[in-house]
């Protein structure tokens, strides 16, 4: 039987598993990983036993303690997690040069063309799993298929620590029977809408017509294609610092008005950061390019010390870059923004600090509206009359 060549590695519950490695007595006991910074502390990770008790990632730690009195809490070990990820990445690269880091503890490997070196992809997958366990002590879930969607769903089904190799004929049958919540791209808001429409399994989503898919919102057709395992993106081995997302505005008429420039920059920043969040990505660098009325140009950049995700963070970084780019007092004709140093966002510890929690929840609410009604449904009020041009 011929199997696919795209392998997904899913180190499920990385922080919790690392806690068990450092404290073996925790194994088999309910515990959570959280930063105990106050009443708004969030559960970052948890053991399988804690999950069975009804606790979840993202839940307030105070609520978890009320649900499970005497709950054990361990502090996250980001340095150990980074070291484990580095080791997994090194092992993956020893089997194929095409390795994509796709979030905390997540990697895609394209094993196509490596048979003479590694044997059949399913054999290589078993060797990779063994190497990871020997090197790090971790036991990730792994799945092999012809595309990223089926592989990712496979690791979600056979976790923790499972392995499955799927032929192209088996992929559709496996996905069809799984809860729609396991499909990448289906978050809490969209899941609620799908369940209201009695779409409970991935197969029901895959069976929708184009018109029915469009009724789900702007992302509906793409989501249905994903449910059918169609149009998967190739494994992307490019380093994060080389990934760039960009867009531009042509101002008509040319303008030097700070308010008008700020409004145009907001539209660019909000649009680009939204596109990155839809892919589970964040950014660290903003580059602003200007085209002046006299034909000259200017450019400025600003680098953040941490990974950013939200609209307000993109806007603040872009405005700092704009300040550096604007070296003339004459009118501006064209304004362009690049967000780069892109990387998988993953569970960010900074995201869960008490002071950031409200902004993060607001961003989730805004994104749910944009996902349903389109990016233009929420935009800067001064944007009327201006159109972005790539």
Domain ranges in the chain? Answer: 14-77, 177-227, 240-383
C-alpha span between 181 and 192 (Å, rounded): 10
For residue range 262-304, what is the model confidence (pLDDT) as tens digits?
A: 989 998 998 888 888 777 678 999 999 999 999 999 999 999 9
In this predicted structure, the answer to whether residue 1 has a pLDDT above a threshold of 70 is no
C-alpha span between 137 and 161 (Å, rounded): 12
According to CATH, what is the number of the domain 14-77? Answer: 3.40.1170.60
Instruction: Kindly list the distances between the CA atom of residue 367 and the CA atoms of 219, 271, 360, in Å, as whole numbers in the listed order.
Output: 12, 11, 11
For residue range 81-92, what is the model confidence (pLDDT) as tens digits?
A: 999 999 999 999
Radius of gyration, CA atoms only, the chain: 23
Would you say 136 and 146 are in contact if contact means Cβ atoms under 8 Å apart? no
CA 186 to chain centre: 12
Better pLDDT: 189 or 121: 121
C-alpha span between 377 and 283 (Å, rounded): 24
Would you say 117 and 131 are in contact if contact means Cβ atoms under 8 Å apart? no
Mean pLDDT, rounded, for 357-364: 62
Tell whether omega for the bond before 321 is within 30 degrees of 0, i.e. cis.
no
Mean pLDDT, rounded, for 21-46: 88
The secondary structure of residue 291, as a DSSP letter, is: E
C-alpha span between 13 and 219 (Å, rounded): 29
According to CATH, what is the number of the domain 177-227? Answer: 1.10.150
Q: Which residues pair with 340 in a beta bridge?
A: 285
Range of weakest confidence among 167-176, 321-330, 338-347, 361-370 = 361-370
Better pLDDT: 186 or 45: 45
Percent above pLDDT 90 for the chain: 46
CATH architecture of the domain with residue range 240-383 = 2-Layer Sandwich (3.30)
For residue range 156-198, what is the model confidence (pLDDT) as tens digits?
A: 998 778 899 998 888 888 899 999 989 887 877 778 888 888 9
Tell whether omega for the bond before 79 is within 30 degrees of 0, i.e. cis.
no
Would you say 88 and 136 are in contact if contact means Cβ atoms under 8 Å apart? yes
């Amino acid at each position: 039987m011929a199997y696919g060549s795209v392998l997904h590695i899913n180190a499920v519950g990385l922080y919790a598993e690392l806690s068990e490695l450092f404290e073996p007595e925790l194994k088999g006991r309910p515990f959570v990983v959280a930063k105990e910074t106050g009443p708004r502390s969030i559960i970052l990770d948890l053991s399988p036993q804690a999950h069975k008790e009804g606790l979840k990632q993202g839940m307030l730690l105070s609520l978890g303690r009320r649900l499970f009195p005497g709950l054990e809490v361990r502090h996250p070990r980001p340095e150990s997690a980074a070291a484990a990820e580095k080791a997994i990445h090194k092992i993956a690269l020893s089997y194929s040069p095409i390795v994509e880091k796709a979030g905390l503890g997540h990697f895609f490997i394209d094993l196509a063309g490596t048979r003479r070196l590694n044997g059949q992809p399913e054999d290589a997958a078993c060797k990779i799993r063994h190497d990871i366990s020997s090197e790090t002590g971790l036991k990730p879930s792994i799945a092999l298929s012809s595309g990223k969607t089926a592989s990712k769903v496979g690791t979600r089904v056979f976790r923790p620590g499972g392995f499955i190799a799927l032929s192209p004929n088996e992929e559709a049958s496996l996905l069809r029977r799984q809860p729609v919540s396991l499909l990448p791209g289906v978050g809490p808001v969209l899941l609620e809408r799908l369940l209201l429409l009695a779409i409970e399994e991935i197969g029901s989503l895959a069976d929708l017509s184009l018109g029915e898919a469009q009724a789900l919102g702007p992302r509906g057709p793409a989501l249905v294609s994903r449910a059918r395992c169609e149009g998967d993106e190739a494994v992307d081995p490019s380093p994060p610092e080389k990934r760039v997302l960009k867009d531009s505005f042509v101002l008509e008429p040319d303008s030097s008005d700070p308010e008008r420039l700020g409004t145009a920059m907001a539209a660019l920043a909000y649009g680009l950061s939204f596109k990155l969040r839809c892919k589970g990505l964040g950014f660290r660098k903003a580059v602003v390019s200007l085209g002046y009325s006299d034909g000259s140009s200017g450019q400025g950049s600003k680098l953040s010390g941490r990974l950013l995700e939200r609209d307000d963070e993109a806007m603040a970084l872009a405005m700092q870059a704009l300040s550096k780019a604007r070296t003339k007092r004459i009118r501006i004709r064209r304004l362009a923004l690049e967000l780069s140093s892109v990387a998988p966002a993953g569970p960010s510890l900074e995201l869960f600090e008490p002071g950031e929690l409200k902004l993060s929840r607001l961003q989730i609410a805004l994104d749910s509206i944009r996902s349903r009604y389109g990016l233009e449904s929420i935009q800067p009020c001064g944007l009327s009359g201006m159109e972005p041009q790539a």
